[in-house]
Structure 1
Amino acid sequence: MLPFFLLLHLLFSFTSAVNSAAYTPTDYILLDCGAPSSSNLVSEDGRKWVTDERSKFATSNSENASPKSTATRQDQSVTQVPYMTARVFHDKFNYSFPVSAGLKFLRFYFYPVQYSGFDGATSFFSVTANNHLLLKNFSAYLALSAENGRPASLIKEFMVPCFETEKLIVTFSPSPNSFAFVNGIEVVSMPKDMYVKHQEDSVSFVNSKIPFEIPDATAFETVYRLNVGGATVANVNDTGMFRTWRDDSPYIFGAALGTVPSRFNVTIKYTNDTPAYTAPATIYTTSRTMGPEPKINMNINLTWNFYVDGGFNYLLRLHFCETQLEVTKAGQRVFDIFINNQTAEHDADVINWSGGNNIPVYKDYVLLTPSDGHSKQTLWLALHPTKPARYQDTILNGLEIFRLNKSDGSLAVPNPESSSSPSPPSPSVRKNKKGCSLVMIITIAVFSGVFALSLIICVFIYKHKVRRVKDLAVSEPKSSWAQLPCPSNSTCTTSVSLLPSDLCRRFSIVEIKEATLNFDEQFIIGSGGFGHVYKGCIDGGSTTVAIKRLDSSSRQGIREFQTELELLSKLRHVNLVSLIGFCDDLGEMILVYEYMARGTLRDHLYKTKNPPLPWKRRLEICIGAARGLQYLHAGVKQAIIHRDIKSTNILLDENWVAKVSDFGLSRLGPTDMFQSHVSTVVKGSVGYVDPEYYRKQQLTEKSDVYSFGVVLFEVLCARPAMIPGLPKDQISLARWAKICLKRGSLESIVDPNLMGDISPLCLKKFGELAESCIKDEGIERPLMNEVVWGLEFALQMQESGNMNIVNMEGGDEVMKSCSSQTSPLKPGRVGGGTTTDDDNEELFSVSGGKVSESGSTISSVGRSVTRGDLDRTKSESVFSEIMNAKGR
């Protein structure tokens, strides 16, 4: 008779062998959309695809779909099958797949480039599957722009129930005035109850004992599936479902990246509770831990952050497997799991869960994300070691995050924003014996040990009056501290308030360092001669802000810092960037602003991976910025002249609302009605400075109007205000636009992306208005309220006007004479341009050499600007500028 322990071993080995077999899908359909029937449809991974040409799956009238469309280029990361052909739909179109009952993986493949017959970047459409709305007004191009690393192709993976009917009906519906397209469709069945959770094995909400049942009728979207600690594993078939597990490193937060131990010679022992199809063995042989330093580990978390959409339930599946030789018993590695600052698991012990080494186990948690008006929210997953354990460490092998449909069956979310820097977390920690939530804290001890920060606060206050103006209750700042003015008042507290009387907040340097993770470089979103701008989080991670810090080694910007602090502390308008607070601890000069999610206007015009803005949106942005300037000129008791209007100083929030920013060069206007100007040295940015202001050194509100006129042409033409190296007439955008307007050929320099998008009447009105703004004499330029009215009138004409396509390629002799010269978007040979009477603008043109595209600051005192001046001022950019083209 065999010993009892040997019988147990054989029984366990038999169970593992049974459960190690890969799943064989009942339904397995690969559809290469738009591919000719004669082609060899085998993808590089060896899978065989079929064409949808005259397919039994295409139930709609084939006249609604283009027969074939082939991509005009193939990115090196894109395979021939299924990405190089597409099916395009101009009307609603159905596919019907006969399938067995159960939950099905439904994957859509998209490659949004130019095709023969259509452009995938301009497609917007909706998709339903068995009455579940999967995508609404979806843009594959925009979805790709938000992906880490900006890949060329996209796979959208859903799980759709097919219990009531043994059919999977997929419907593509183009958005109004658009079309739908798809490159490939994949349908794969999955094991029963793989993700569906009934009452007997239901999961609970995070930090709650309330059971959460996932019924058969639930549809899922795969938001993230990660191979934690390992490389991307694509289309793995050892589970039978060809899932892709991506590298987790782009989602790791902060400097505590942990270690990635792996043991590839290990045999994973699957069980009945964790069958082999749960995840491939390669997922369990790699992991991410915190490392061998217990003192460091106890002061930080191992943290990942993810962007998700609010208003949905999310299922998080965490995969674990202890394969390291040093961890062999329960209690040796024990840790807490936190999801969105809530305790998901206290004293997690993988060995205790699984029963031994090399045995995988997973844990499911459901998180409800509230709908707070923001389309994107940050989901945090953090692991923290428990003290009594032998190894003060944590571990994670794999992670899956799924979005669950709403009560109406919808999974659809808004199109994502472009990718941006991760938001720093709240650096506070909550930990107690009961397992309260632990929030991310990463201290400077990670790098150089803990050091003390002393606070120096010296405030001298005297009173100023409080006044209100139209559109805003304005509070005058109160006096100053020893070095710089402090806009604080009796209501200034340690928390941000939306009340007009609470317009200022003083931050300590400790708070600023916590918000930026000790000024971690990964959160830099802009930079200039003054220093850097960081993205940060305050108030426990609930508020995202932009933090501008003056470099301690820089002699620039002290006066600009003071000006911006004084002005913005008493201004609040929907089209002005709001100042939240400041920091003057330990000699620091730091300003904290509201965060503008879409960066600068220039970020969306040229030299960018962002999709081109449609004309109507550009008009709306111009109107918003004009209203901000109008408020500065006429909406306050004493007019404020911005003095540095340019496309990088017009920022866009997540709703595309334009806001004027950077008031470091701003000046108060004339103090009484008998003054027409303010005498001051010339400051501004090359290509935007008013030539009359330069000649006379007399600053007026019309100087801002001139700069804004240059911005209007920037918006129309999608080119910089200055391009050194072009023929003389083309270097300055203002000068070049005047020449083309005089010739009647404005169309020749309009952004080609706007072809067919501008009403001719709107273009005419817009061109006339922009030209009037850049008149040589300020008295000939309109006031900002007239500019606002003109832009609103242009928008009305755009919305109601004749949308005949504007000819962008020339045709008559006048247009040819303008467009035959070097393109304003491509550097050409110096010289050879046509001369005009506009000699004043030569002061701001540069023949040869280089000028910073973002606009070097210029300053003069009664003399002409030389090449040396331009070079010097390039290195002396003011505190208010953000030179990084990525903006905020």
Structure 2
Amino acid sequence: MLYFAPCFFFLLQIFTTTTTTTTARTPPYRATDYILLNCGSSTNSTDHSNRSWEGDERSKYAPSTASTSSSALQASSQHSSVNTVPYMTARVFNSRFTYTFPVLMGPKFIRLYFYPNTYSNYNTTQSFFSVSVNNNFTLLNNFSADLNSPSASNPSFMKEYLINVGENQRIDLTFSPNQNSFAFINGIEIVSVPDKLYFKGNGVPIKFIDQLYYLQDNTVLENLYRINVGGTNIEIQDDSGMFRAWYQDDDYIFGDYGFYPHLDVQIHYTRQTPPYSAPEKVYTTSRTMANTSKSLEWHFPVDSGFYYLHRFHFCEIQLEITKSNQRVFTITIDNQTVDAEVDVIFLTGGTKIPIYEDYITWVPDDGRHGKKDLCLSLFPARESHPLYDNALLNGLEIFKLSDPSGSLAAANPEPLPDDGESGGMAIRPVNEKRSRKHLVIIGSVIGVIALIIAAIIISFLSFRSGTTRTSGSGSSLPSNLCKHFLLDEMKSATDNFNDNFVIGKGGFGNVYKGYINNGATAVAIKRLNSSSNQGVHEFLTEINMLSKLRHLHLVSLLGYCHENGEMILVYEYMAHGTLQEHLYNSENSLLPWKQRLQICIGAAKGLHYLHTSSKHTIIHRDVKSTNILLDERWVAKVSDFGLSRVGPTGGLHTHVSTLVKGSFGYLDPEYYRRQQLTVKSDVFSFGVVLFEVLCARPPIILSLPKEEVNLAEWAKHCLKKGTLEQIIIDPSLKDEIAPECLSIYIETALMCLRDRGTERPAMSDVVWSLEFAMQLQEAAKKIDGDVAMDIVGGGFSPLEKPISFPLLWNGGGPNSTDHEEMFSGSSEAASRSKCSGFLSSSASSSSGGARIFFHRGHYKT
């Protein structure tokens, strides 16, 4: 999945292409030793990244007895996620076997490739073995590739080690099968590493809590994590000559956080931090603290009983940070402070200059070298009184260090229960760098879901059999879900369903305003069409979903009634009706911009809660402006869960396969094409709502020219053509929207509408971005009340003022009280903003402002 800076969605799309050329400016490191061995193959082959692998059949690296002591075999099957080279062939050993690689002195990466599978008569579930290097270091012991496999859907993996080769100038890699077992390997890679990059020398200390640690050259390291913080995956061909893969951190980050996107800036490498330290893409992305967070925090599962080397990569490229003591932060690992005051500008002497800092920590043994979560936290160092309350991280590497006996071996993960859909192979805890945040017990999840489904089926059958009991206990639904109302109570509340009480109508039936508790409480009463089978299903779904959910931005279900075939739902009353009623086709007064923006933020928070805060992900599946209701205080609440579905459970399950349902104009096109529902389907629909709010028009208007009929398609079309100024904004908003706010708002909406769900933001990012837009709106008004915010008649364009990531003043004050400090940066940045800003196509307006047009009247369907 791709996750980007919520305040720079559109800019990131531009910068992603420009950073390709930026990376090309960095001269790669040229390895002095570079060996790729495709084990079990008799021919040379090319892998997916166009690297050439040598077959090990009769290889100079294998002993002459290889043909009698090992077997070259083909995998019996291939998963779609597994690359052919080097994984589809394997060398299988029934006895001790050694590869010998002549190499030059110095540090080397050793990468071992494994693909648990069946090779002829060898099933790797029965394979347990050890791997050693130069008879001095144990890399693996009693190792099971099957138990260490990331998952059933993506079972292949690589383990990476770093060794310093001495005067013998050779690497002897020995595989030793356990008794009555066998060993196997699919591929071996050896690539040299620049001197002093990781091994600084025996006399160079590393920070270790309140003392110093000396990493010896005869220590072997195992890389467990290599992270591009806040960015996307970086493939091996994009690394700086050592073919290191860098992975995004989404599965390890905890809490509230912010992004900083790829920027088209040239990183100024130094002798201390040479170009091969990390790719430029690492230093041009980062995470910083969001305004509501107290720290940046990551959790990484590691093996207990070992020392760990943590390499933190930093680079200040944010426009506001130009001097020392503006951003100072503390780093803790497992609640132990490893660095009390990190000031990147102070360490580097300026902006765009990368640096990395190394720290050593010890993880106590649990008795078996089992897994333990390692917590890394960064938070503001307020004692030094920095200008901003914030922290920063661009990249991270975590290495396990060999113990005094020269071993890196740890216990195999415990086998997990069969997931029920993987052909007998359980989804295992991820042991690689990606797709893992928690250990998920799949059997338990499936059991819970099965109980829910069973309850729904039983209730459904009861309804279908025509329950006719008339007492309060007559409902076939369990009374502990929510209050059960008597039919007589519903009739009394609505004057026997008097049409004068109707406040809404739809295919489901009517919605009435009623009064319960002796007329003291106003409620909304939805009376479903009892003749509809779909109505029965939606009735059950709504109760089972909403009765377990409570959130400020979700409509609360107060109870239900099921008697004499009636299906009635009782909700809290929303005094101001639907969002749509205050946008168009209504006699209601139109909402001002800040109120619209606040409503969007609230609805986004409600959807974020559905996607993340319940035991199981919930996908709404019918997000639209009529399902966003407004209470008496104009608080937005998401409603109508009749089409909602429990989302995927993780692991193999990335989507829910289901018939397409939703509302025309809001429907996710990817869901429509593939019939695969994900939370990103809700994100797409919400993107349509954002444009609906801005333009005050329905998502579909058949009377308009063909290209403008569908609002979402029209917005994307204008983006591709560079004619975003043609998007017609509600004229009632004239003089209200700050250009900076508008830029971020449209960027957010467009990112939600991306064709591929994986490229759309999560709802947490949407919430963050909209809140940032609100900050910009408020700041623009506070900074200078005389500044014209009329983006038609003048004012300043966002093109003239580069927008950066929000920062909190130390002490929780506003972002800044100075307009130039908040919205300006270097002349270089300002120049970039003019040529790559969001509304660049409209920068030529004769008025000097962005040419965004307001239509003269409301849309009518």
Q: TM-score, normalised by structure 2?
A: 0.45
Greater relative contact order structure (CA < 8 Å, 6+ sep): 2
Q: TM-score, normalised by structure 1?
A: 0.44
